[in-house]
Amino acid sequence: MESLRKKLLALDTKSYKAYKTLSGIYHFPNFILSIDHVQGDPFATPSRISIRMDANHAGFPYALWQTTSRRIALEDYIGRGVKQAIDQHVKGQRGSGGSGEFAISVNGQQVLMRNAVTVNDQFVEIRLTIGLPAHGRRAAGHEAIAMMLEELPGVVDTALCYHHLDEARVLRHIQSIEDQDALRVWLHQSGHAAFIADGAILPRASGVDDRPLRTDALAFCAPESLAHTVNLPNGGSLRGLAIPLGITLIVGGGFHGKSTLLQALECGVYNHIPDDGRERVVCVDNAVKIRAEDNRAITRVNISPFIDKLPFGRDTVEFSTQNASGSTSQAANIIEALECGSQLLLIDEDTSATNFMIRDERMQALVSSDKEPITPFIHRVRELYEDYGVSSVIVMGGSGDYFDVADTVIMMEAYEPRDVTSAAKALAFPTKPYNHPDRPFYPPFYPPTKRHPDAGALNPARGQRAIKITNRSTHELLYGEHSIDLSGVEQLINIGQTRSIGLMIHYYSQHHSTPDDTFINGLKKVIHHAEQHGLDAFSPYKVGNLALPRLHELAAAINRIRKGQQQ
């Protein structure tokens, strides 16, 4: 600690680059500080530091992190506590650029596996970024002393010592996450696709604020006919709406909450912090939001189950394009979800291609089936469920034809759910079963095309220049010479996931991109490696800004590489 003080005093007013000499390890009374990377300019990416406290001194009981679910929850709680402690202890702006700033990469309403905080039987470690202070481009040694020797110890003592925390709040956070994981286990055991608890607050503060709407938000209440009661390990008896497996429609007038409910289900693949309003809204963990995605790249995807007999004999069994239409992109998105093992498709008509979802009788009379290459989703949705176990939840406000194939119909009325299945069935037209002998032949869904990524496309080097993997936002990944647009991948919710995706693609290309294995099996091995060894396994240097993506989002990034992608 004193050695760091002396170094900082000696650096005062020197060139900013002199801060580089700080890299190394420093011992404080209650923790060890490691300065892992020093920025070269006050306007550059901030410096990276890590703080490690002995587990005995931190004092977190083993019971709080004895399972994977609890450990991830505790690490999330500590990270959020560090964020609050920074607000409490850190002055902030201390000069040029980002001078004086501390930050930890734990944010958002979801609880994800990250590498910003580590808890084990030996130590608790947190990783921060810090803006070393400057006046102009001169080191501000005295300001740095205040940051490193006064503010930082206050943050660490406040957030990393268990006896300083509210034990009841820590336990509540952990038990909430544990209960959400238990709800997903219940879904699989009971034959349901999703669960929305009574009392849930589904509307968000705004389109750019994922926090719950605090005023005029109606608490969710399940209709009795669809209500189930679940016994949680910590929360006891919980009543809510359980969406069964099969085909479920969400209907209702405009602005009555249909899409809000579907969006809550989309996010239900992730756990949420207490008081988010959706902390007891869960979906099967491999659910995938499907939408039309004009202009996306598609490479060798078998879209023939939905699109066949294109003009001029164009192949749809191994379909490729650099500029997909709404219908071809939606077909590809479904097939890619099936490749990843999805058992639940979430679809909103507002973000779907109309001609992909349905063709009414008059259009069929005018354009005969032999002249129409698109097989609408309505013709295959029952087959997907009955033969392949893939359920669908569909928001549908403009077409009653889906009544003919639905198992459950939920109407949202002023944000209140009503079971209108019987009324919808009374309006449905009798149809032949999807597997009736007179049904037209449709190409099979399985087996999928055995695609294999081209190693050249997965090389993150930029020609003769160094490897470049970075991202400008959650939905834009720069990977070597490729700019990958992930704006249509709606369940990608955190920039840390996008950073991890870039690194994991590189790891996949080096270790599992082999003709002896399938594309998806290789990516499954990468996800398993992350779960077993942590996200540090993919980064060449120590960072604290990574979060674990799902298999689907990892595959989606590779699927959207535009050129030379796959062979």
CB neighbours (10 Å) of residue 364? Answer: 12
Q: What is the pLDDT along the chain (567 residues), one digit of tens a residue?
A: 789 999 999 999 999 999 999 999 999 999 999 999 999 999 999 999 999 999 999 999 999 999 999 999 999 999 999 999 999 999 999 999 999 999 999 999 999 999 999 999 999 999 999 999 999 999 999 999 999 999 999 999 999 999 999 999 999 999 999 999 999 999 999 999 999 999 999 999 999 999 999 888 899 999 999 999 999 999 999 999 999 999 999 999 999 999 999 999 999 999 999 999 999 999 999 999 999 999 999 999 999 999 988 876 788 999 999 999 999 999 999 999 999 999 999 999 999 999 999 987 677 667 766 667 899 999 999 999 999 999 999 999 888 999 999 999 999 999 999 999 999 999 998 876 766 666 778 888 877 777 888 777 898 987 767 889 999 899 999 999 899 999 999 999 999 999 999 999 999 999 998 888 888 999 999 999 999 999 999 999 999 999 999 999 999 999 999 875 444
CA dihedral 157, 163, 165, 169 (to 10 degrees): 160
CB neighbours (10 Å) of residue 417? Answer: 20
CB neighbours (10 Å) of residue 1? Answer: 13
Number of residues in the chain = 567
Parse the chain into domains and list their residue ranges: 2-165, 288-390, 461-559
User: Contact at 8 Å (CB) between 258 and 250?
Assistant: yes
> Residue 365: is it exposed, middle or buried by C-beta count within 10 angstroms (0-12/13-18/19+)?
exposed
Phi/psi at 379 (5° precision)? -80, -15
Cα-Cα-Cα-Cα dihedral sign, residues 181, 206, 398, 334 = negative
Q: Report the C-alpha gap between 326 and 354 in whole angstroms.
A: 9
User: Contact at 8 Å (CB) between 202 and 109?
Assistant: no
User: Contact at 8 Å (CB) between 520 and 551?
Assistant: yes
